[in-house]
């Protein structure tokens, strides 16, 4: 009904939708149903949606019109000073643990990767902090997860139910350095919001290396204190772009994730108009 109404509007008809954008608060796959019995809807495949820029919390890397935006975290700053004070807090935090992992094992999945991470974490007593999120223990933003991130130099970030997970942003807002095992968990997702050089803010260990016996502890211990400090500073620098401010009018001078998303969408529309990047 919405798309039928939209296609009757003069602004839509003048461009075929290529200068429109929409926010969709779930992962892209929930809107790509190909069979009626499948999960979600077929919204993206409906007539009228082809040329719209779509802001989602996880994109299809092969669809130009999908743009991934950060998952909302529990931190919604009310002012510039809220952001600056929080950055100082996580920068000066005394981190007693080398790395942490918050997640639930998937016992029904053969060779479950999360279970492997939990075992590695538990086998290095004192160096890793594990938060078992079985059931709904972590669904309400429990302080146990935040404390684990605040107390750890690194946080392990495997894929979630899909390739991305909210925990990435909880981790980075806490000033912890994310460790990824799939490129699609972040590197092929949040280009507008994260540094262009993955090594500047994260560590990548291919999942197959872990499955073949690579010690996560040994990889992370190979980073010097100076290297860790430099990487953490990059994470802290990007915190404003990862959070959604409380005031409707935004922050005073700092751009949050909302600002970055809207400015990015408008820039994209302008570029399409200038260079004729239009789909038929």
Q: Which domains can be identified in the chain, with CATH numbers?
A: 2-71+253-275 (no CATH), 80-242 (3.40.50)
| Coil, helix or strand at residue 146 | helix
Is 251 exposed, middle or buried, given 0-12, 13-18 or 19+ CB atoms closer than 10 A? Answer: buried
More confident residue, 246 or 144: 246
Least confident of 100-109, 119-128, 244-253: 100-109
pLDDT at 280 over 60: no
**What is the helix (H) or strand (E) element at residue 233, kind and residue range?**
helix 225-237
Mean of the pLDDT values across residues 218-238? 97
Tokens found for residue 250 = 């935004």
Q: What is the pTM of this model?
A: 0.92
Tokens found for residue 273 = 């108009």
């Amino acid at each position: 009904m919405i798309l039928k109404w939209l296609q009757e509007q003069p602004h839509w008809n003048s461009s075929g939708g290529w200068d429109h954008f929409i926010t969709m608060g779930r992962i892209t796959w929930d809107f790509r149903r190909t069979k009626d019995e499948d999960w979600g809807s077929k919204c993206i495949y409906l007539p009228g949606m082809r040329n719209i820029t779509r802001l989602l919390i996880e994109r299809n890397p092969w669809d130009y019109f999908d743009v991934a935006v950060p998952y909302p975290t529990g931190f919604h700053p009310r002012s510039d000073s809220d952001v600056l004070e929080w950055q100082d807090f996580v920068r000066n935090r005394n981190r007693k643990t080398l790395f942490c992992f918050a997640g639930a094992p998937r016992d029904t999945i053969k060779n479950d990767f999360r279970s492997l991470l939990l075992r590695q974490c538990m086998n290095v007593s004192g160096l890793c902090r594990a938060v078992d999120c079985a059931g709904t223990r972590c669904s309400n933003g429990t302080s146990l997860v935040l404390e684990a991130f605040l107390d750890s130099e690194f946080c392990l970030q495997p894929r979630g139910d899909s390739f991305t997970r909210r925990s990435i942003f909880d981790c980075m807002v806490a000033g912890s350095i994310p460790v990824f095992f799939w490129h699609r968990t972040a590197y092929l997702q949040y280009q507008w919001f994260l540094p262009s050089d993955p090594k500047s803010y994260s560590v990548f260990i291919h999942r197959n290396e872990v499955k073949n016996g690579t010690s996560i502890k040994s990889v992370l211990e190979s980073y010097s204190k100076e290297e860790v400090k430099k990487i953490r500073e990059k994470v802290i620098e990007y915190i404003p772009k990862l959070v959604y401010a409380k005031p409707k009018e935004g922050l005073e001078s700092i751009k949050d994730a909302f600002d970055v998303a809207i400015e990015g969408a408008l820039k994209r529309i302008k570029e399409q108009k200038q260079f004729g990047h239009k789909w038929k």
